[in-house]
Structure formats: C-alpha cells, structure tokens
Amino acid sequence: MTNNKYVLSWIEEMAAMTQPDKIVWIDGTDAQAEALRAEACSTGEIIKLNEELLPNCYLHRTAVNDVARVEGRTYICTPTKEEAGNVNNWMDPNEMYAKLKKLYTGSMKGRTMYVIPYSMGVVGSDFAKYGIELTDSIYVVLNMLIMTRVGTNVLEALGDSPDYIKGLHARADIDEENRYIVHFPQDNTIMSVNSGYGGNVLLGKKCFALRIASYLGRKENWMAEHMLILGVEYPNGEIKYITAAFPSACGKTNLAMLIPPEIYRKKGFKVWCVGDDIAWLRVNKEDGKLYAVNPENGFFGVAPGTNEKSNPNALHTCLRDTIFTNVVHDTKNNTVWWEGLNDNPPAPEYAIDWKGNPWDYRKYDKKDKLGTSGAHPNSRFTALAKNCPCISSEFDSLTGVPVSAIVFGGRRAKTAPLVYQSFNWQHGAFVGSIMASETTAAAAGALGVVRRDPMAMRPFVGYNMGDYWKHWLDMGKIIPNAPLIFHVNWFRTDDEGNFIWPGFGDNMRVLEWILARCEGKVDAVETAIGYVPKPEDINIEGLDLSLDTLKDLLSVDTESWKADIANIKDFYNMVGDHVPAEMWEELAALEARLG
C-alpha cells in the first residue's frame, strides 16, 4: 500500500521481532471492516448485538485484570529523567527498549499483525498528524476505525516522509506485571504491551494525541490539551466556541453534548459538540486567535451514568455503529445495559455481567460497586462522532474553530466557586496549574482527598510538567487575540454533602456568563482569586434555586483557599525546579491577596 521506505523498514523490523504469521494492511474500506467483524465474532472476541435495536453494534469484554489506563505502568522515556520530570514515570530509553524487546519477541506467533495507517485530524489539514499502529488485536483495529481516520489516503498524504508516529501494540499474555505503555518522544514512538484495554491500546488517543502531541506542540508552538470543544449558538445564528479541561470522570462528555434548559431552547439557543476529550490548538495567522480542532473521529465514552436525562445526545450516538466494552449483556433482547441507563436491568436469567458471568441486579451493593455491578464502572462505548445528534458542522473543518474561552474545572466541595475568571493569560495558566479534584465519599473511602491535576493533564503530559507550564506561558505571548481563561466547579456541596448546583443542561447558564464576559457585555466582582459574577448576572429563571443560594455558590471561601495554599506549595515542590518563576509569583500574589 506504500513505498515509503521508513514505514516499510520499521514494519519489517517490528515483524521480525514479534513474528506474526501474517501481516494485513487496513485500508479503511467497509468491506474489510465487515470481514474483520465477522472474524472477531467467529472467535468470540466480539458479540454482534440485535441488528434492529442496535444496528452494527458489538459487545466486547476485556480481561478482568485489564479494565483501565495504568498510570503506574505508563512511561515517558526521554534521554534524561529531567526531561520527563517528576510527575512522569521514566526509564532510560536503552534499558526500556531492551526490556520491551524481550516482551515483544515472538509475541505475535500464530497471530496476525494488522497495520493501521491513521490520521489524527482531517487528512491533509494543517493540524493533521499521521500515525501507524501495528497491533495483533482485531478489537483494536475496529476501535481505531471509529476513533481515528483510517485508510490508504493517510499513506498517500504521508508520501515518502519519515514524519509519522510509530505505534506497536501486542496483547502478549495480558500480564499485569509486564504491562507497559511507553512513549519515546524523541523517536516518535509508542509501545504498548500486555493490555487490551482502550486507553492503553488505542494508541492514537492518550498516547499520541496527548502525550506525544504535547511534546510536539512545545517544539512547534501549538498545544495538545485534554479538553472538550463546544459551540454555543445564539438566537441570531452566531456561534461562539469554548474549550474546557476537566479531570477524567468529571463530565467532559456531558458538557460537550449539553442540551440547554427549556427557557434557552425557546429563545433559540443551541449547543454543538466539536469534541469531548482532546483539543489541538494553533494560532491562526490571519486573525491572531487561537483555533481548536478535535483530532479524534469518535467518542470513547464512559457508559455508566449515561442516560436519556444525563446525556441524551451521547445515548443516541451509541445506538448504532458502536462497540460496547465491559457492559451488561441482556441475552433476552441481545442488547446491552449499564448502571444508570434506566431502572430496568435485565432479569437475572438473561443477564451476563462484564466478566462474562450470570448477574443478578438484586445483589447490587453500593458499598461494593466493583464486586456487584453488572457493568464495570469504567465500561465504555466507542461511537462515531458523526452519529452524534449535536455534532458541530465544523467537526471536519480544516482550520478548526476560534476559541473565545478556555475553561478549567475540578470537583471541589468547598474551595472553588461556581465560576470565576482569571485576571489575564498568565494568571489563567496559574489557575490551570493548581487545578484539583476531591474524591467523593461514594467513589473512594476517604472523603475530600485532593488530587492536583494541572490542566487535567497530569497523566498526559509527554515531558516535564514545569516545562509544560512554561509552554503555556510562552503561548500566551504569541496569541495576539487570546481566549479568556475561566474556572468552573459544578460540584460544590452543602453541609449535608448534597450538590447545590443542578449541573448538566443548567451549566448553560454559566457558559452564557462566560461568553458575555468574552464579549465585554457583563460586569464582575474582583476578588482575591479572580473575577466572580454578580449573582444577578447568572440567569436562574426556571430554576429551583434562590438568589441567596446562588450567592453562596459564588462566594470565595477564604479559609479553605488559605488551607489549599500549603497543598499547592507541596505540589509545586514535587514538580520541582522546572516550575516557572511566574507560577511561584502568581502563587505568592494569591497568598497575599487572601491576606
């Protein structure tokens, strides 16, 4: 399919090591995908679901020990440890290559190696970057066909160039002790072994589009971020775009596919989804604004909790052409189910849980979610973006969309108000650097344990975190018309631990204020942490929420901020001596303002 000598010699070398029985090139055609689906069904790797209810949908179960990303086994192998920094795991590249060689040698014996040429971004656009993933898993091929743009046109666009990201994935023995997800940024190489779980093996996603891309972005003056992208359409048809970074499992997909409350819909407001997980951002030379694309082609969303109320758009997206992973199989209707889908779990005689065992929903115990739930809490749907009812008409844009606002967010019971605006780009980057989430009582034993997750990129920066912050500061200097930077917190709780803000579609009310700030159309109150809305400027029409409660939501709890400062200092010290002086200055200034 190509004469590119760099590609051919690399594949030859990888095949000599892994020793597959045969090599199959993925061409992106429906005919080939259909044949692979049939083959995977025949071996039980995937199960075809009810064609009438869920057309072209399949179910897959991973190994029980292989259900999530493994941060502890994810490495950034730069030549020096300093380049990878203190937040990443690091090993000397030569040592790591030697270790991996042992694990890969002969790992594809008796198996087929699939060669997947794929693009992150629209093929041929200025944003696009190309990759080739070698894998011995049909499940990976079928997921990559949804999540990325795959086919011979990628090889044509690459031509004779050596400029592509190499990715090697082998399932090997799915051995947790020898599971490695490794990045060699200097070699444009990703190696993943002993896993079959999406986040570890769909190498275009976290590995390429965040870790390797963040490294490339720093070299080439652009940004790869863990951000959703959405467009708010006003009644006059104008659309303004927002990107937002929240830690994993804080509702990025829900916000990206938000349906505005009725009072907004009646006026003609709409929200369009450009992306739910990753944004690549570049400065547009013509208007000096920051433009964003979603480099992916699909959504790898968390299934549990997705329902007609929380996210109808996501639910409708995954009613066709979808691969479900680790959800409940309803064998009566040959469909799927997960916790939070509806109140009708399949009857025990027809229910198979994510492990492949008979499952009785009546034994579900909140305190032992993992042991008793039918779907794994991290079970997923892999669905095509183009099937999303609210997908933006700019999804395939070659230039991307102009970003008015960047929003950071976390899950904080008390510290962060509903929304605040940073004073300027540098302060905004600081706000991103101190992002954090607290564990909830429901999710883990300890309540209120703070995990700092700068820009929601803690597990995804492909180099030193301090240098990444410096890159943020540097980018601010080369964007003539930079977006404004905000912080939101949908998760503030009352003294009984109940969420105060309704969230979901009502988050539209906060987005409206954010965009009004960007347009200079609304005033704000200056506080120690940034600009906070005047309570009367957040539209609460139609909400069961008083102005006093809104005041509480917007108040700055000085004592909890002061208490947070020590935690931030510890974190900065852990990140180490690459933390830019500007960030320490911002921290000192915040401390002084808090008094």
| Binding interface with Mn ion (CB under 5 A) | 277
Q: Could you tell me how many residues of this chain bind ligand OXD (CB under 6 A)?
A: 5
Element (H, E) at 317: helix 312-317
Binding to ligand OXD (CB under 6 A): which residues in 294-313? Answer: 300
How is residue 42 written in tokens? 């025949």
Q: Are 503 and 489 in contact (CB under 8 A)?
A: no
Name the residue type at position 166.
K
Instruction: Give CA–CA dist 403/289, Å, rounded.
Output: 7
277 binds ligand OXD per the rule CB under 6 A: yes
Question: Which is the catalytic residue, given 57, 77, 207, 250?
Answer: 250
Instruction: Give CA–CA dist 271/260, Å, rounded.
Output: 7
Q: Which residue is nearest to ligand OXD (CB)?
A: 248
The residue with tokens 């995990």 is 451
How is residue 356 written in tokens? 């492949």
Name the residue type at position 218.
R
Instruction: Give CA–CA dist 293/399, Å, rounded.
Output: 8
Residue closer to Mn ion (CB basis): 7 or 250: 250
Residue closer to ligand OXD (CB basis): 301 or 505: 301
Residue closer to ligand OXD (CB basis): 2 or 325: 325
Binding to ligand OXD (CB under 6 A): which residues in 62-81? Answer: 69
Min CB(484)–ligand OXD separation in Å:
25
Partnered with residue 17 across adjacent β-strands are none
String marking each residue 120-159 x if it binds ligand OXD according to CB under 6 A: ----------------------------------------
Min CB(69)–Mn ion separation in Å:
9
Residue closer to Mn ion (CB basis): 120 or 123: 120
**Out of Mn ion, ligand OXD, none, which partner does residue 199 contact, by CB within 5 to 8 A per kind?**
ligand OXD
Q: Are 150 and 115 in contact (CB under 8 A)?
A: no
Min CB(248)–Mn ion separation in Å:
5
Min CB(225)–ligand OXD separation in Å:
12
The residue with tokens 């892994």 is 18
Instruction: Give CA–CA dist 76/25, Å, rounded.
Output: 29
Name the residue type at position 249.
A
Q: How far is CA 402 from CA 86, 125, 287, 478, in A?
A: 34, 16, 9, 15
Min CB(147)–Mn ion separation in Å:
12
Q: How far is CA 576 from the centre of its chain?
A: 26
Min CB(26)–ligand OXD separation in Å:
23
Binding to ligand OXD (CB under 6 A): which residues in 220-259? Answer: 248
Q: Which residue is nearest to Mn ion (CB)?
A: 277
Min CB(432)–ligand OXD separation in Å:
16
Q: Are 274 and 392 in contact (CB under 8 A)?
A: yes
Residue closer to Mn ion (CB basis): 215 or 420: 215
**Out of Mn ion, ligand OXD, none, which partner does residue 427 contact, by CB within 5 to 8 A per kind?**
none
Helices assigned H by DSSP within 318-395: 369-372
Binding to ligand OXD (CB under 6 A): which residues in 163-202? Answer: 199
Q: Are strands 112-120 and 22-25 parallel, antiparallel or unpaired?
A: parallel
Instruction: Give CA–CA dist 147/373, Å, rounded.
Output: 27
**Out of Mn ion, ligand OXD, none, which partner does residue 241 contact, by CB within 5 to 8 A per kind?**
none
- Decide if 57 is catalytic: no
**Out of Mn ion, ligand OXD, none, which partner does residue 376 contact, by CB within 5 to 8 A per kind?**
none
Q: Are 255 and 290 in contact (CB under 8 A)?
A: no
**Out of ligand OXD, Mn ion, none, which partner does residue 433 contact, by CB within 5 to 8 A per kind?**
none
394 binds ligand OXD per the rule CB under 6 A: no
Residue closer to ligand OXD (CB basis): 300 or 501: 300
Among residues 281, 211, 213, 214, the alpha carbon closest in space to that of 242 is found at: 281
Q: How far is CA 62 from the centre of its chain?
A: 20
Residue closer to Mn ion (CB basis): 255 or 283: 255
Q: Annotated catalytic sites, by residue?
A: 250
Q: Contact residues for ligand OXD (CB under 6 A)?
A: 69, 199, 248, 277, 300
